[in-house]
Structure 1
Amino acid sequence: MSEHAYLPIEDIVGLTDAALEAGLADPSVRPLLLDGILPRYRGTLPLVAAPGRQVRSDLNEMNHVERLVDGSVPLDVWLRNAISQTAEAGPLAVFQQALDKVAREAAGEPDVPAGPLAGETKEEIINWDDTVPFEFLRGGDHAGTSVARIKVLPYRAGAPLQPNGFPHAGTGWLIAPDLLVTNHHVVNARTRSATERGIVDPADLLLQAQNSRSRFDYGADGTETEEVAASDLVAWDERLDYAVLRLTAAQPPRPALRVATEPLTVNRDQPVAVNIIQHPGGQPKRVALRNNLVYEADEQDIRYFTDTRGGSSGSPVFTDDWQVVALHRGARRVEDVNFQGKTTAFVNVGTQMSSVLRHLAEHSPGVHAEIAAAQSALAEQNGGEEA
């Protein structure tokens, strides 16, 4: 059994108790909890006569499996299924909290300092016109064609990582016609608490980028569209958590997304809604629209309430004009923050694109010039509006 464990033993005990309370220990429910996990792996799970012990056994086994050959995380799938089968508030909260931990760790999202944010809560919004032009939908549909699910296979010393070198999934998008941007931690392809955690050797990082596969047009119908390879990793930074990959010329032409060159600013009197097109869990494309207000912003980061999951890392964060203002990278724990009448323990975090562009201008001027040229071309196509 692998030394890796997503959750401490006390969390596994708590999940077992929550499953018993929610009636999920019934043997007839077990197939529903295992739905979506590779059948070959499901068949390796030991069978136990006592229902409660069966739940505990399943959780213990899955807790030590980092991911399967298809890139999925069995414990993540089980927890999502448990949430869908649970109505009671107590067990539901236990399952949701565990899923948050597993999803963040499986994605390899770096820890963010947990210091408290400013002790302000969002004011109630009254008589604010939340409607948008119908063309908003068309703009989102157009933007979505440039968003892809990316899978990255981990390498070590020039060879695929063994024995558990299964692909890590994230989201990427076109910032220029053949340049795809995602998180550094997506290309880094390491689970946060794994033995091999940390920043991989630059040569292996390049191999991981070159052997990545990006799938555009991967929608809810699950159509297996053609995957696009990358030829190079042209720029990256661990602190800002971004990476820029050059895609092969074989991909069909797609529009680059418009990128904000100035940082987004917010105040309590003028709330800003943001939208995220993403591939949570490496699954087909999903979108979180508008009921996702920005909580706080500074020169480097934007913090917001938009729903995301593991695999959403690297997603573009849009304002309502479908301009990318941030690169989504993860979540951070907060205190005394209220959203929609409820206290939230987390807000999501993205890196301001203006910070990424400044870093590129200083450290990768050639790449920055290529992006700037693509953005200028977009501005001309849009009647001269600022990109």
Structure 2
Amino acid sequence: MNAAEYYSNIKKALKTYDIKSVERICNEFVRVLYKTDDIFEIADLEKIIQDLRDNRLFPLLQHVGNALIQTERSSSKIISQYAQALIDQDNLIAAISILKDLELETRDETVLGNKKINLECKGLLGRAYKQVYVDADNPNKLQNQNFLKTAIQYYYGGYLIDPDANTWHGINVVTLLKRAKADGIDFDQFPDEDVIAQTILDRIETLVYDQQASAWDFSTAAEACIALGKASDALEWMSGYVRMPYVTSFQLASTLRQLEEVWQLTIESESGLLLLPLLRSKLLEKEGGSMIIDAQNLKDQKDASENILQKYESIKKDTKSDTLGITLEKVFGEDSFKTYKWYAKGSDRCLAVARLGRDSSKGFGTGFLLKGKALHESLGNELVLITNAHVVSNDPAEKSLRPEEVTIIFEALSRDEEFKPSEIIWSSPSTALDVSILRFSADEHERLLQLTEKVEIYPVSKYLPVIDEESPSQRIYIIGHPFGGTLQLSFQDNVLLDHEDPKIHYRTPTEGGSSGSPVFNQQWDLIGLHHAGSAEMRCLNNKPGEYEANEGIWIESIKREFSRFLDANPIKPI
């Protein structure tokens, strides 16, 4: 195959975010690079690297980039994006070394393409030194102050080459000067950051007026507004940015990282309150978008949710940007508002997810609450906990925790409150439905009701999403405790592959500790219980072959079998 064919195959696999197929294609391509002297078009090689970058597949980008560089099939663009992959994997010293060499090599502007690559090198060197400073987390140390100063110098050097064009470099100067002041550092050799911010904002407003603004321009204008204390204006610009159809998950993740790590925005600040939920929600809509949301962040966001909705409602009604006659056409409109509400609903689903372990220090698996009547009317509003039989069971063959050994924590509600189940109402072995339904004593249940007083317990969908085999687009979401660690939403590569009662197959990455996690459809209704994954999962519906997939058990199948049990073996209310 030539490079164009490899690129086409990678593109096709990325359409459903089939990362294993992308890995296989890239590994095959790397073997060809090392074993043959085949000549490939540089433009096609650059497309492969660009696609891996845009989808944030940095380890694969590094793997392919290594081979291209070592076999002398690279270009300056490939080397710069290779360095970018190193930065995104925190290999900062290696990236800085490569970029310094490339920056020196591309200073001759008479060579075609050098000017653009040299400018990019300056920006990436600024970013690398910025990350060194942020990671060090000690502004009082002189060495770290020099790292920050070096980052500003690289960005400022790029900005001065052409202030009208290089606003991205300029806004990073603004950001880092603001950060320096926040950290008690004074760099008086640079111009006033507010003046630069206003100059950049004026320039981008002109670009919008002339219909020449790019996605990065909108993001840059939003940062300028943050610097100038204009939070509502920042939201308008950021909403315009995230709505652009060609904005990639790489760009959104980069912007989110900038706001959280460098600007240090939190939900407690006005700009953070408005911007962070919007960016997170849009990132999670994108193929390749992924995020770990920790428990404290969830609590803060839940506490602020009413305030966020009120502000969004107000801005949605009153959006206006009339400077220079510009109207941003309701850039914060109904679609942005709906996306935030979708994201907020998903975040709320975390609240009823529990970590199960022998003690509170580390989890063994995941579980989640349901109202008993969602499974059988006789249970009414009693809260029961659903998990896998291979997580909690009375059967020694399961090699799981016994109910009396289990400690249950709802991390997103309270890390300090621990619960113990009183019994397993019903269990189906891991060779069948792999489910255990746990109940609590009257006293424990009363405590649980108090803890979950403001929590919406999941609605259960009666139906599974329709499968479109020609163009898989239905997405599946899992919330769990990978490796028994912090609560995590899995939003990456979550494509529904197939289902056949009682099994659901999907391509959502999960790790050990996710067993017992709830599985949701795109409307955040419960459809299943996650229980297994395999690189060689047999296809469903009598289809030949195997594929890499995760497997869940349809909640309606669990409900059906549990109902049969309860009809024959009624239990008393607690």
Query: Structure 2 length normalisation: TM-score?
Result: 0.34
Larger Rg: 2
